Amino acid sequence: MFNESLILGTVPEWFTKGRTVLIMEDKTKGTELTNYRPITCLSLVWKLFTSIISEEIYAHLDSNDLLPEEQKGC
Residue 73, pLDDT above cutoff 80: no
Residue 74, pLDDT above cutoff 70: no
What is the C-alpha to C-alpha distance for residues 34 and 24, in angstroms, rounded to an integer? 9
**pLDDT confidence bin for 67, thresholds 50/70/90:** confident
What is the C-alpha to C-alpha distance for residues 36 and 18, in angstroms, rounded to an integer? 18
Question: For residue range 7-58, what is the model confidence (pLDDT) as tens digits?
Answer: 898 888 888 899 999 999 999 999 999 999 999 999 999 999 999 999 999 9
Domain boundaries, the chain: 11-71
Q: φ, ψ for residue 65 (rounded to 5)?
A: 50, 45
pLDDT at 34: 92
